[in-house]
Structures are given as C-alpha cells and as structure tokens.
Amino acid sequence: MSISRLPRAVIILSLVSFFNDLASEMVVPLIPVLLVSIMAAGPVALGLIEGVADAVASLLKLWSGRRSDALGGRRKGLAVLGYGLSNIARPLFGLAGSWPVLLLLRSLDRVGKGLRSAPRDALIVDVSPPEIRGLAFGLHRAFDNAGAVGGSLIAAAILAWSGLSLTQVILWSALPGLVGVLLIAFGIGDSVTVRRDAPAEPLPKGRWRDLPVALQRYLWMLILFTFARVSETFIVLRGHELGMSVVTLLLLWALLNLTKALTSLRGGELADKFGSNPVILFAWAGFGLCFLALGWVGSQPQLWVATLIYGTLAGFAEGPERALISDFAGATYRGTAFGWYHLMIGVAAIPAGLLFGWMWHWQGAGFAFRYAGLLALCAALGMRLWAQPARGGEFL
C-alpha cells in the first residue's frame, strides 16, 4: 500500500470528507435520541426521516452528476455548494421542535449531499489512474469513516464532561463543517477539476436504456441490497432500547465507524488486486449473516460484538462498490454513471426505511433485522448468479 501514489486532489477530498463527517457524526447518532426523548416519536418516524432524506439526496445525484459531465468535468462548484448547504442545515437540528421540522432539515442536509456526491466521486476517478482507483476510493471512505469516529467521540466527551445540552453540541458541529467547506473551496483549483478535452454541451445521454446491461443488473441488485442496508441509526435505536446511555450510544457509533475506517482502505486495495466483484460478494454475504445475528441480540454486550462485525464488513464494501461503477463509464460519462448509482439506491430508500421501521414497530427489532439479513443474502446470491459485471464497460 502506498498512499503517496495517490494524487493531491484525492488527499484533499478525503480530508474534506473527514471534516464534514466529523461535523455530521456529532449530530446524526443523536437523531434517534431526539426523536424518542424530545419529540415522542419512534422507529416509524425514524424510517420516514432517513428514507425521505436519502431519497431526496439520490434524486439530485443523477442531475448533479450529469450536470458536471455537461460542464466538461467542472465538478468543484457543485461539490462546494453541496458541502456548504449541508453545513448550514445540520447545526439547526437541535432547534427542531417536532419530527416534521427535523424531517425538513434532514432533507435539506441531504440536498447538499445530493449536489456533491456524484461530482465528487467522478472527480476522484478523473484524477486517479485506473490501477489505483480502488485504493483512491478506499482512502476516501477511510477518511470519511474516521471523521465519523472523531465526531461521535467528540460529542460523547462534550456530553460527559462539559455539561452542554444536546442542542448545544449540535450547534458546535458547525465548526468542523466550516473547515471542510474551506478546504474544498480553496484546496483544489479549477485546473484539477476541468477536463479540457470533454465537450461542454449538450448534456450526455442519461437514459436507463443507454446504460450497459451489466451495469443495469448491478444496479438492480443494489436496489435489493438497499432494502437490507437500512440506516445504521437503527443500530443506535436498538442500543437505546437495551438501556444504553446517550454517551454509550455515541461510543457504539464510534466503534461502528472505526471498524469501517480500518477496513475501507484494505477493501479498496483488494478490489484493485482481485476485482471489485468478489470483494462486494464477500461483504454482502457477511453483512447478511451479521444482520441475521443482530436479530437475536438481546443484551448490550451482544450488540457491541455484532456492531464490531457489521462495521468490519461494511467497510470492505464501500470502496469496491464505487470503484466498480468507474469500470463502466468512459471519461465523458462518469458523473452520469455515479448519478445513476446514487439515484437507484435512493429510489429504494423511502420504502426500505418505512418497511423496516414498520416491521420493528409491529413485530419487534429481532424480526426486522432477520428480514434484512435474508434480503442481503438474496442480493449477494443474485449478484453472483445474474450480475457479473466485467471491467471496461462503456455507455452504449
């Protein structure tokens, strides 16, 4: 492994994600606590909030990805706007007095994510040689998850020792968020983000039927897997049900993201060496078994162990899932390909979150987690038997 082989822009974008997630994870793991303790809401409201928020983000990702392609690869402006919007909306979560207001603010936060994600991912591909793209995405995801670790630990420390309220902790998240926005605004020049050989107009073809068949099949399996990979805040909600304090829940969240950070880089390296597909299959199958195990968790120590295993497997998949998308798209269509990737995940986000929350409410957490585990195993099987993408695919 040689991080020094990676372009400077990848390092800067990884640092941007670190500070953005440092801010985000001072807030996100507190959402279930806000809902239950202040707004008198439960798993159905959590499923709706997370589902709607992810869907809003994903719908915008296709537009922003295609737009960055149409601009000849000028992706920085959309990314700066996205990071800025999220870091304006997120600190206001603590001031929300009801779950509909929280839903609105969470959606605005994810609008920012929708604007930035596809252009940023395409930019990473633009500046990274093909033989190290898995490593590039692995490093980016590692920094992203490391920021999540730091954010939850900072929030836990503040709540444990400072006497500040939840609202005050959430407001302080604006500080690291601002650092991330300044980094991307001034740390990367336009000369890095512009592909001068790409046409500025018209918009590239973005219709579903124009996608390679292998990419279509992969995206269908991603939709199925999305119904299993529901928001990780449900793990926090399960810990709350088992009697964990707010500080302990933040530490649990930190453990989850620490394990993801430690394995993301390795997952990207393995994707470069063996191909993305086998790494994804391994992670998805392991994810399914882990969620089946979460269905029988009945104590705090068991939840700690299950979270440790889950985070390890989830980290392996993050880089390869994105690196595989880059195998399908030529230089002119990278933003569009990543836009479809994020859009298809978002299409399933609302029904997935609502269905999981409804099962939790009526049948209990164990039933909901076991259902998700079985779906993940089905997605892994479908990926193996039906969707075997090859490298080098192009848009038709």
Per-residue pLDDT tens digits for 169-202: 889 999 999 999 999 999 886 544 444 444 444 5
Residue 381 lies in a domain: yes
Q: Residue 299 carries which DSSP code?
A: S
Judged by DSSP in three states, 48 sits in helix
Residue 261 lies in a domain: yes
Q: Which of 44-48, 176-180, 321-325 has the highest mean pLDDT?
A: 176-180
**How much is the average pLDDT of 42-49?**
74
Of the chain, the percentage scoring pLDDT greater than 90 comes to 13
Strand (E) or helix (H) holding 82: helix 76-89
The pLDDT of residue 240 is above 90: no
Residue 396 lies in a domain: no
Tell me how many domains the chain contains: 1
Query: By mean pLDDT, which of 48-62, 80-94, 127-141 is the weakest?
Result: 48-62
The pLDDT of residue 203 is above 60: no
380: Cα separation from own chain's centroid = 19
Given a contact cutoff of 8 angstroms between Cβ atoms, the answer to whether 288 and 373 are in contact is yes
pLDDT at 395: 36
Residue 395 lies in a domain: no
Residue 137's CATH number = 1.20.1250.20
Query: By mean pLDDT, which of 29-43, 190-204, 322-336, 358-372 is the weakest?
Result: 190-204
End-to-end CA distance of the chain: 35
Residue 391 lies in a domain: no
149: Cα separation from own chain's centroid = 14
Query: By mean pLDDT, which of 228-232, 287-291, 357-361 is the weakest?
Result: 228-232
Residue 129 sits in which domain range?
Answer: 3-385
Query: By mean pLDDT, which of 107-111, 141-145, 186-190, 270-274 is the weakest?
Result: 186-190
Residue 135 lies in a domain: yes
Amino acid at 225: F
**How much is the average pLDDT of 195-219?**
63
Residue 393 lies in a domain: no
pLDDT at 316: 83
303: Cα separation from own chain's centroid = 22
Q: How many CB atoms lie within 10 A of CB 285?
A: 18
Residue 247 lies in a domain: yes
Given a contact cutoff of 8 angstroms between Cβ atoms, the answer to whether 381 and 210 are in contact is no
User: Residue 317 is encoded by which pair of tokens?
Assistant: 């998949």
Confidence of residue 319 (pLDDT cuts 50, 70, 90): confident
